[in-house]
Structure formats: structure tokens, C-alpha cells
């Protein structure tokens, strides 16, 4: 039973507006005339839309199953272009005397393909890397060989970390060691003296400017890392005493990730620039100002200052940064510094899309056919049946009467449940009451469209009449930020977009955890508790597929092994001469691999299960041939995909 009437007038424009794809899609994603989500990819010098459904079909024909993470190198390259060209244009228009030298923070997506792509394509901009740990620095040094690009070293640093950085500096790489804690200075100076290298130093400062958004606590006075003003001045004095004040080249601050309000960004830049100018006036060499991260993208498609959105774009961000630094340095009479930003989320979020298939649906609606009631049915059940009869009467009901029927149905259903709990109503009568109740609710949902309603009525009904769609994925593995911090991700069907969606749904994953679901969605210009979707027509032979977008930042590396569900299958896609190219196809984790992460030995598991199977043969519960078949199934399971396989 459908809750919305089908409409032949539904179009792809209606779907685009409903799901907001042209707002959060940033021109990279759209809907084709066939009603399929397309991604715009580079084919030579031309841009060509490519259907996600077609990409999935090609992957399946090659033996790759869903869920599937699809990576688009073109989108990564375009994001690098947008950021760098945005700063270059702002520098030119503002007659700024410094340069822009961005760095990509490896922690945002550490996958080898990302680092390889960024260092190769970013070389034309001298686009560098930020390493926050020794493993990240080791990866950075293997890929970043551009002598004009920076490697910025944040995080805690032991002796080995520092030696790696200083050796890279010896070899001509511009490595900046950033002081996160006052105690790091002595260790860096000691190692640099022993190695005969004058280090290039930066210092991370805690701004007093309050930020905004979910990650505001990672900047300002509440920041775990960075020096306060007193500690900063002690560093300056110590370097001066050691004759090494010229080694202090960079001021760094981190305001937080995904800063939604451009005003907060500008205020932080202004304060940081004043501190920078003060360091120059103290005699430090300086020359570089690192603004950290914070450049936001719109996950919900809205143009507001919410944690899932932003009230500015890349162009405005770059222009405001240049203008704010110019104003403060001009007032102080200090030369313009080179600018570094560590914009990771804004660069890689669009890069990956997770495609899932719907395995099953749990619908809150009655079975077909009228519920038969006996003469001895409980009065509350008879009352519900009388309300149900009103739907069979001719004539138009008033809006007020529809509201009364809704209120009465909720009351009688709740009362029936209470009497069941006290033993006054039997199980079958309670079941009949639920059937009648859901029939009434479904009828009311269609009736409100003809009699009119206020927003609260439809909102209440939507919360009641919500299906559960079971998707072939794990929230904890593929969307950890959704579970941990309630991050909004765009979700929509990747096909059938010429059809009007007729259901309201919450998405559940295949873990056995109540938190394994998506129950907040951005659509219809609002944050809603359900998502309009089509009937998936389970059993038709055709999968109903959803795309979960903007998952390129953080999600791949933060995922865990909840329910021992591992990494999904991955494929990278490009287009050449009009033909799709599938590159870097990576199989997702097998069951054996995931178990080995948890210290199980797959061979030992098979041996232990074989003992159980043999004992069943000895006790004549199974035959030897059945043992062979059972062992084959067990070993095939170890080799198989951790997700639902068809």
C-alpha cells in the first residue's frame, strides 16, 4: 500500500529539487534524462556525464559486488584546482605580495591512491602534504619530492620523527617542524645540533577567537595542542638566546574542521595575523602563515551556518583570507607572508561515493483484506473498527473530522496495548487491533492531501508511517562520522528518478546494532527523520540502489570492524575516448582477513571446525559425504565477502 499517490507529472527536476543534488553536488553530480544520477568526468578536454548505475553494472559484469565504494580522480583534481586557483585569483586581484602553498593533511584520507594523485597533480601548484605522525611522514617523504612544496609536521614527535624530518631537509625538501608542545623545542634543537642542520620551525598557537561548528573545541583556548601566548614568548626568548630565532619561520593555528561561518574564519585570520606581525617585530624571520583547516563544504545543500553546511564558497573564503591578512600587515608595516592552508575535507569529500543495494523492507502497514471481528471482540477493538468504517463511507470528510479520527485511533490503539499488558486482551485481538490501526493511518495519510493539513499533522504521520529499508552496508565501517557525531551525508537513489517516490524510509544497515541506521536526512530544504524513496520491489530481480555521497573525507580510515564487517569493494573510475575505465579494483575484506585482524588464525579455525564435524560423523549425526559438503561451505565462507553476497 503506497502512502503517496503516483503522479505521471513527476520529473527529474522534481527529484533534483527533492534530494538537493544540485546544491550539495557542486556541479559534479546531476540527474540524466533517463532518471539516473550522473557524475561529470573529464574525457580529454571535454566533460562528460557518466551514469552511476552504468558504472555499477560494469563493475558487476566484472565480478564486483555491492556495496561498492567508487572513487573519482577527476573530482579530486578539480577540487585541487578550485582551491589553488581561488587563492591565485585572490592574490592577483588583491595585489598580495606573498604566495599560496597549500598542503593536504594525510589524516583526512590516507589511502595510497589519494596521496599519489595529490602529489602528482598538485605539483603544478607546489601543493604539499601535512603529516601528523611518523607513519604519515614516512608516506609523505616517499611521495613528496617537489623542492618548492612544503611538508608540514604536526603532532607529537619523538627522536626518530625529528631525525626523518631533518634528513629530508638535508636532501632539499622543505620540511617544517611545528612545535605543538613547549617540551618539543629542546629535543628538536638537540637533534638539529647533532645532525648539523638548522631546522625550519613553526609554532602552533592557541587563538582566543571563538569558532563555530561541531569541531570548534579543536581550536581556541580549549585546544589540546598549541602554545598559549606566554609559552609562545618563552619559545621566542629561548631561540633568541640560542642564536636560532631565524629558524622560526611559520605561525600555525587550527580553528577546527568544517567551519560553517565565514565571519568566524575572518576573525581567526585577523587575530593570527596580529600574532604573526608581533613575532616579526620580535625579530623572528617568519615568512609563512599556516591557517590550518576549516574550509567547509555543504553536506546538506543548504546555504546556512550549520555544522553540515557553510554560508560561503571557496572563492569568498580565499578573498576574505587575503583581505584580512593584507589589512593587518599593512597596519603593522610587515611584508605579506606566504599562506598555507590544510584544507583536507574540502579537497577529498567529493572524491568517493558509496553505492549500496536494499536487501529487504519492513513496512508498518496492515495486511491486505478486511480484518474479521467476532461478536465477543474487545470494545476497544470494536471502536477502532468503527473508525475504520468511516473510510468506506461516501462523502467528503472535513479536515477537523480527519484529525479527530487520527486522535481517536491513537488513543484506542494505546489503550488496547495497555489492556493486553494487564491480560485483558488476547494476543490475536491485539494483532487485529494493530492491523486496523495501520489501515487507518495509511488512509489518513492519503486523505490529508485532499482535505489539507498543517505541517505538524504530516510530520506526526511521517514519523508513524516510516518503513525500514535494510541496506547492504555497515554504518560503523563506511560512515563512522554518522554514528559518532551525527554527520549528515547526502543519500538518494541513483536510478528511477523519473518516478515519484512513494514511501518514507529510515535506512538500517546489516549489523545487529540499534545505532546502525541512518535516520536523519537532508531533503526538501530541511533536515528530516525519514527519506522519500521508491518501492524497492524486492524479489523483482532488479536491485534498488542508493548512493551515499561526500564520503571521501575521514570515512575510509575511521571505520571499525563492528560485527566483523570489513572494508567494501573499491573501484576507481575515469573515462577515456567515451569509454569507462575501471582502475585500481580492490576486493573488500574477506571473512578470513577480518578474523585475522582480531587475532584469529583462519587455518586454525578450519581445523577446529573439522574436529567438530568429525565428531558429528563418529556419533552418526552426519555422514562422511555430508562432512565434506559442510567443510566446503565453511571454508568458502572464510574466503567470502563480509557483506551480503548474491
What are the catalytic residues? 512
Handedness of CA 372, 377, 381, 383 (dihedral sign): positive
The Cα-based distances of 559 to 85, 431, 478, 482 in angstroms read 33, 41, 6, 11
The Cα-based distances of 369 to 6, 385, 436 in angstroms read 22, 13, 10
CA neighbor of 381 nearest in space, from 406, 407, 415: 415
Terminal Cα distance for the chain, rounded: 28
Q: What burial letters (b/e) apply to 144-163, b meaning 16+ CB within 10 Å?
A: bebeebbbbbbbebeeebbb
Positions of E strands within 87-213:
103-105, 128-131, 150-153, 174-179, 201-204
What distance in Å separates the CA atoms of residue 138 and residue 67, rounded to the nearest whole number?
A: 32
What distance in Å separates the CA atoms of residue 618 and residue 367, rounded to the nearest whole number?
A: 48
CA neighbor of 519 nearest in space, from 486, 550, 492: 486
Residue appearing with cell numbers 500500500: 1
Kindly state the helix (H) or strand (E) to which residue 337 belongs, with its residue range: none
Q: Are 358 and 422 in contact (CB under 8 A)?
A: no
Q: Are 180 and 230 in contact (CB under 8 A)?
A: no
Handedness of CA 47, 52, 57, 60 (dihedral sign): positive
Residue appearing with cell numbers 636560532: 244
Handedness of CA 120, 123, 125, 126 (dihedral sign): positive
Please name every residue paired with 175 in a beta bridge, in sequence order, or none if there are none: 151
DSSP calls for 534-575: ----TTSSS--EEEE----SSHHHH---GGG--PPEEEEEEE
CA neighbor of 318 nearest in space, from 127, 123, 94, 128: 94
Phi and psi at residue 100, in whole multiples of 5°?
-105, 130
Enter the C-alpha cell of residue 491: 543519500
Phi and psi at residue 13, in whole multiples of 5°?
-65, -40
Helix segments in 206-283, DSSP class H: 229-241, 262-281
Q: Are 49 and 511 in contact (CB under 8 A)?
A: no
Helix segments in 100-145, DSSP class H: 112-121, 134-143
Enter the C-alpha cell of residue 556: 575510509
Chain CA centroid to CA 407, Å = 39
Q: What angle do CA 369, 373, 375 make, to 5 degrees?
A: 160
Q: Are 304 and 311 in contact (CB under 8 A)?
A: yes
Please state the length of the chain: 646
The Cα-based distances of 389 to 158, 225, 396, 398 in angstroms read 77, 67, 14, 16
Please name every residue paired with 50 in a beta bridge, in sequence order, or none if there are none: 39
What distance in Å separates the CA atoms of residue 496 and residue 493, rounded to the nearest whole number?
A: 7
**What single-letter DSSP state applies at residue 519?**
-
Kindly state the helix (H) or strand (E) to which residue 576 belongs, with its residue range: strand 569-576
Amino acid at each position: 500500500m503506497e502512502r503517496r499517490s503516483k503522479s505521471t507529472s513527476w520529473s527529474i527536476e522534481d527529484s533534483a529539487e527533492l534530494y538537493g543534488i544540485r546544491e550539495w553536488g557542486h556541479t559534479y553530480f546531476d540527474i540524466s534524462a533517463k532518471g539516473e544520477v550522473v557524475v561529470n568526468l573529464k574525457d580529454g578536454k571535454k566533460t562528460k556525464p557518466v551514469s552511476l548505475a552504468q558504472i555499477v553494472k560494469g563493475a558487476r559484469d566484472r565480478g564486483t559486488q555491492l556495496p561498492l565504494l567508487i572513487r573519482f580522480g577527476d573530482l579530486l583534481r578539480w577540487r585541487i584546482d578550485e582551491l589553488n586557483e581561488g587563492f591565485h585569483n585572490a592574490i592577483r586581484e588583491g595585489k598580495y605580495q606573498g604566495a599560496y602553498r597549500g598542503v593536504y593533511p594525510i589524516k583526512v584520507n590516507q589511502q595510497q591512491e589519494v596521496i599519489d594523485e595529490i602529489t602528482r597533480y598538485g605539483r603544478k601548484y607546489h601543493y604539499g602534504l601535512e603529516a601528523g605522525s611518523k607513519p604519515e611522514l614516512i608516506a609523505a617523504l616517499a611521495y613528496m619530492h617537489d623542492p618548492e612544496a612544503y611538508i608540514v609536521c604536526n603532532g607529537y614527535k619523538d627522536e626518530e620523527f625529528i631525525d626523518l624530518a631533518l634528513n629530508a631537509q638535508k636532501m632539499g625538501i622543505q620540511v617544517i617542524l611545528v612545535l605543538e608542545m613547549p617540551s618539543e623545542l629542546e629535543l628538536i634543537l638537540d637533534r638539529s645540533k647533532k645532525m648539523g642542520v638548522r631546522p625550519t620551525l613553526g609554532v602552533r598557537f592557541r587563538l582566543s577567537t571563538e569558532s563555530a561548528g561541531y569541531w570548534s573545541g579543536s581550536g581556541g583556548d580549549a585546544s589540546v595542542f598549541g602554545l598559549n601566548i606566554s609559552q609562545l614568548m618563552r619559545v621566542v626568548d629561548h631561540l633568541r638566546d640560542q642564536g636560532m630565532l631565524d629558524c622560526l619561520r611559520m605561525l600555525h593555528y587550527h580553528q577546527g574542521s568544517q567551519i560553517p561561518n565565514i565571519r568566524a574564519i575572518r576573525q581567526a585570520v585577523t587575530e593570527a595575523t596580529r600574532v604573526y606581525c608581533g613575532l616579526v617585530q620580535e625579530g623572528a624571520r617568519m615568512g609563512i602563515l599556516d591557517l590550518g583547516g576549516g574550509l567547509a563544504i555543504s553536506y546538506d545543500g543548504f546555504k546556512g551556518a550549520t555544522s553540515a553546511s557553510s554560508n560561503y564558497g571557496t572563492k569568498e573564503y580565499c578573498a576574505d583570507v587575503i583581505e584580512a591578512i593584507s589589512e593587518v600587515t599593512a597596519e603593522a608595516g610587515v611584508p605579506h607572508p606566504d599562506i598555507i592552508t590544510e584544507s583536507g575535507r574540502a579537497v577529498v569529500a567529493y572524491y568517493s561515493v558509496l553505492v549500496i543495494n536494499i536487501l529487504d523492507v519492513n513496512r508498518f502497514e496492515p495486511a491486505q483484506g478486511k480484518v474479521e471481528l467476532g461478536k465477543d471482540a474487545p470494545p476497544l477493538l470494536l471502536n477502532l473498527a468503527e473508525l475504520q468504517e468511516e473510510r468506506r463511507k461516501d462523502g467528503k470528510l472535513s479536515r477537523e473530522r480527519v484529525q479527530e479520527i487520527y486522535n481517536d485511533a491513537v488513543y484506542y490503539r494505546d489503550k488496547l496495548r495497555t489492556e493486553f499488558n494487564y491480560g485483558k486482551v488476547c494476543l490475536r485481538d491485539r494483532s487485529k487491533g494493530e492491523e486496523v490501526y495501520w489501515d487507518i493511518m495509511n488512509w489518513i495519510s492519503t486523505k490529508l492531501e485532499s482535505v489539507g493539513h498543517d505541517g505538524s499533522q504530516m510530520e506526526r504521520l511521517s514519523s508513524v508511517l516510516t518503513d525500514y529499508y535494510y541496506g547492504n552496508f555497515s554504518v560503523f565501517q563506511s560512515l563512522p562520522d554518522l554514528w559518532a557525531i551525527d554527520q549528515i551525508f547526502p543519500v538518494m537513489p541513483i536510478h528511477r528518478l523519473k518516478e515519484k517516490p512513494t514511501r518514507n524510509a529510515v535506512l538500517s544497515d546489516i549489523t545487529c546494532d540499534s545505532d546502525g541506521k541512518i535516520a536523519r536526512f537532508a531533503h526538501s530544504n530541511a533536515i528530516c527523520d525519514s527519506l522519500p524513496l521508491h518501492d524497492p520491489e524486492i524479489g523483482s530481480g532488479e536491485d534498488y540502489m542508493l548512493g551515499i555521497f561526500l564520503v571521501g573525507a575521514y570515512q575510509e580510515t575511521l571505520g571499525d570492524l563492528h560485527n566483523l564487517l570489513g572494508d567494501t569493494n573499491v573501484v576507481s573510475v575515469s573515462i577515456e575516448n567515451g569509454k569507462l575505465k575501471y582502475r585500481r579494483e580492490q576486493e573488500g575484506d574477506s571473512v578470513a582477513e577480518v578474523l585475522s585482524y582480531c587475532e584469529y588464525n583462519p587455518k586454525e579455525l578450519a581445523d577446529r571446525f573439522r574436529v567438530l564435524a568429525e565428531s558429528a560423523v563418529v556419533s552418526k549425526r552426519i555422514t562422511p559425504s555430508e562432512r565434506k559438503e559442510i567443510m566446503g561451505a565453511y571454508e568458502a565462507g572464510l574466503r567470502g565477502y563480509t557483506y551480503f553476497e548474491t
